[in-house]
Amino acid sequence: METQSSPLHVYFLPMMAPGHMIPMVDMARQFARQGVKATILTTPLYAAQISKTINRDNKELETQITIRLLEFPYRESGLPEGCEDLSNTTTSEQMHRFFNALNHFQIPVERFAAEDRPDCIIAGAMFVWSNDLAARLGITRLSFWGTGFLPLCAHHSLLKHRPHEKIESDTEEFVIPDLPDTLKMTKQQVPETLRDDAESNVKEIFAKIFKAEAGSYGMVMNSFYELEPAYVKYGKEVIGKKAWHVGPVSLCNKEDGEKSQRGQAASIGEEECLNWLNSKNPNSVVYVCFGSMSIFSAAQLREIAAGVEASGQPFIWVVKQNMEEEMNDWMPEGFEERVENRGLIIRGWAPQVLILDHEAIGGFVTHCGWNSVLEGIVAGVTMVTWPLSAEQFFNEKMVTQVLKIGVPVGAQAWTRRTDSRAPINRENIEAAVKELMIGEEAEERRSRAIALGNMAKKAVEPGGSSDTDLRSLLEELRKNRK
């Protein structure tokens, strides 16, 4: 616990996307439980989502967490009113405007900081101006990327060695140079931000982000040492950046109520969801969810429906609304009636951690977003890996090749958010789900996943690796203050 008369004051500035906001809010709550005064800077949309949880923590745990409101600059950035979340952008043009909009937050954040005089700002890596702001105020700036050490190291290696630029073929495998494990990938799986043929505005935005990262004091990671020890070491030594692992941060949600209120308002009631899960056998249900950003075509949704149906396994499937396509177009005829007793379809937002932590869940079909992977690991579930974009192909390799707790569905290429094709067919989905849930190696995989889940929980307990790293970070911030 913070013992000085004036506690450390840390600003948390998450990028406005669920995959960044959710873990950073958990992180702020975790810091506050160590006696830190935490201020979350966010827009009215997100403030409404998180205020209940923050108020409860402040009341029940006597934490000091404040929310400072930032108005979203729609007009200045050419975005439609209400589009204050990256997951609401539907075109790549809007996405670029969104990234540019992040520059407009500098003035209000600086105004708040001049009043509050925080000791440190932990800002999403995309807020490229936050180093300069921290330098002007004489405070520490830490960055948050929202990923773990393995994807960061893989990214760093590709950025430095550029092996993908040395081969012609999109499908020929190459080894990611210099990593602790032999991890192979193809050119078409390399994130757009690392490709020479990326759109020029993508390149420009990410060049600025990487440049800003070089000037940050260090990184705070939502990971834990036992998950990726070789990559924690590599990250600190080879990338040469200070880094602290304080995760899995989702573990600060202990009660069902907290778990179900994480992120957006769930599209299913907590009780209905738990009743459904309670009616199923332990480890029997496969949970299918592709994070907050992915939008599938109607053709791909039809393949998923047919694949999970043919797998014969009970399932929960979270389907996100696709604005461009008529939603019911994808539903195979009679599908809902046929799977009525063994399938639950959630249209919109699912209480993911509540679901994953239930004993009925035995497998997770995931797009390999870092938060989803970690949440699956905490729950001790095995995964069908279906990476789509961002750094998800790196995360897939960690799950399937390093941790050996997953079965790849066979995703071949990095995709944009809206893709009208259906690259993964029903047979692949059926086969991967069956292999995961009832295949020969299912039990072996499951015991590895359960062991990792136990390590994750120990890491955040007093004296665990993440708890210790968090304390040493706070110690360093205190020294910096002096």
Q: Name the residues that contact ligand UDP, by CB under 6 A.
A: 18-19, 22, 262-263, 289, 291-293, 318, 349-350, 352-353, 369-372, 375
Residue 241's CB is within 10 A of a number of other CB atoms, namely 17
Q: How far is the CB of 370 from ligand UDP (least distance, A)?
A: 5
Question: Cβ closer to ligand UDP: 26 or 226?
Answer: 26
CA–CA separation, 151 and 154 (whole Å) = 5
Question: Cβ closer to ligand UDP: 140 or 297?
Answer: 297
Cα 221-316-377 angle, rounded to 5 deg: 25
Q: How far is the CB of 439 from ligand UDP (least distance, A)?
A: 25
Q: How far is the CB of 333 from ligand UDP (least distance, A)?
A: 26
Spatial neighbors of 206 by CB under 8 A, at least 6 apart, are 193
Give counts: helices (H), strands (E), the chain: 19, 15
Q: How far is the CB of 175 from ligand UDP (least distance, A)?
A: 26
Question: Cβ closer to ligand UDP: 91 or 447?
Answer: 91
Q: Where are the alpha helices (DSSP H) in 297-424?
A: 298-311, 335-338, 352-356, 370-378, 392-397
Half-sphere exposure at residue 202, Cβ-oriented, CA atoms within 13 angstroms: 14
The bridge status of strand 184-186 relative to strand 173-175 is antiparallel
Q: How far is the CB of 173 from ligand UDP (least distance, A)?
A: 25
Question: Cβ closer to ligand UDP: 291 or 314?
Answer: 291
Question: Cβ closer to ligand UDP: 263 or 362?
Answer: 263
CA–CA separation, 449 and 477 (whole Å) = 35
Task: Answer yes or no: are the C-beta atoms of 359 and 282 closer than 8 Å.
Answer: yes
Question: Cβ closer to ligand UDP: 164 or 262?
Answer: 262
Question: Cβ closer to ligand UDP: 352 or 466?
Answer: 352
CA–CA separation, 465 and 455 (whole Å) = 10
